[in-house]
Amino acid sequence: MDSKPIDTPAANQAAANQTATKPNPSKDVKHPPRYAGFVAGVFSGITKLTVGHPFDTIKVRMQTSAEGKFKGPMDCLYQTLRKEGVRGLYKGATPPLVGWMVMDSVMLGSLHNYRRCIKDCVYPDHCELPFAGKCVAGILSGWTVSFVAAPIEHVKARLQVQYDASTKVYSGPINCAASLIKNHGIFNGLYKGLLSTMIFRTNFLFWWGSYDIFNTYFEKKTSMNKVMANFWAGGLSATIFWITAYPVDVVKQRIMTDDLNNPKYKSWLDAFKNVYRTYGWKGYFRGFGPSILRSFPANASALASFELVMRLFNQDASEEEKAGILEE
What local confidence, expressed as pLDDT, does residue 29 receive?
A: 56
- pLDDT tens string, the chain, 328 residues long: the values are 455 555 555 555 555 555 444 455 445 556 677 788 899 889 898 888 878 888 888 888 888 888 788 888 899 999 999 999 988 888 878 777 887 888 899 999 999 899 999 999 999 988 888 999 999 999 999 999 999 999 989 998 898 888 776 778 888 889 999 999 999 999 999 999 999 999 999 999 999 999 999 999 998 999 999 999 999 999 999 999 999 999 999 999 999 999 999 999 999 999 999 999 999 999 999 888 878 888 899 999 999 999 999 888 876 554 444 445 555 5
Secondary structure class of 225 (helix, strand, coil)? coil
Of the candidates 154, 202, 208, 193, the residue with the CA atom closest to the CA atom of residue 37: 208
What local confidence, expressed as pLDDT, does residue 94 receive?
A: 78
Residue 111 · residue 142 · CB < 8 Å: no
Would you say residue 24 lies in a domain?
Answer: no
What is the spatial distance between Cα 68 and Cα 162, in angstroms, rounded to a whole number?
Answer: 17
Of the candidates 226, 225, 234, 176, the residue with the CA atom closest to the CA atom of residue 207: 234
Residues whose CB falls within 8 Å of the CB of residue 325, separated by 6 or more in sequence, listed in order: 32, 112, 307, 310, 311, 314
What local confidence, expressed as pLDDT, does residue 189 receive?
A: 95
What is the spatial distance between Cα 249 and Cα 22, in angstroms, rounded to a whole number?
Answer: 50
Q: Structural domain of residue 90, as residue ranges?
A: 32-315
Would you say residue 80 lies in a domain?
Answer: yes
The number of distinct structural domains making up the chain is 1
Side chain identity, residue 321: E
What local confidence, expressed as pLDDT, does residue 3 receive?
A: 52
What local confidence, expressed as pLDDT, does residue 56 receive?
A: 82
Residue 199 · residue 192 · CB < 8 Å: no
Of the candidates 278, 70, 95, the residue with the CA atom closest to the CA atom of residue 163: 70
Q: Which class for 319: exposed (0-12), middle (13-18), buried (19 or more C-beta within 10 A)?
A: exposed
What local confidence, expressed as pLDDT, does residue 80 receive?
A: 92
What is the spatial distance between Cα 137 and Cα 109, in angstroms, rounded to a whole number?
Answer: 11
Q: CATH number of the domain that 205 lies in?
A: 1.50.40.10
What local confidence, expressed as pLDDT, does residue 22 receive?
A: 47
Q: Which class for 203: exposed (0-12), middle (13-18), buried (19 or more C-beta within 10 A)?
A: buried
What local confidence, expressed as pLDDT, does residue 14 receive?
A: 52
Element (H, E) at 313: helix 288-313
Residues whose CB falls within 8 Å of the CB of residue 125, separated by 6 or more in sequence, listed in order: 24, 26
Residue 183 · residue 189 · CB < 8 Å: yes
Would you say residue 23 lies in a domain?
Answer: no
Q: Which class for 169: exposed (0-12), middle (13-18), buried (19 or more C-beta within 10 A)?
A: exposed
What local confidence, expressed as pLDDT, does residue 320 receive?
A: 46
Q: Which class for 51: exposed (0-12), middle (13-18), buried (19 or more C-beta within 10 A)?
A: middle
Would you say residue 252 lies in a domain?
Answer: yes
DSSP conformational letter for 94? H
What is the spatial distance between Cα 196 and Cα 256, in angstroms, rounded to a whole number?
Answer: 9
Would you say residue 264 lies in a domain?
Answer: yes
> Over pLDDT 90: what percentage of the chain?
52
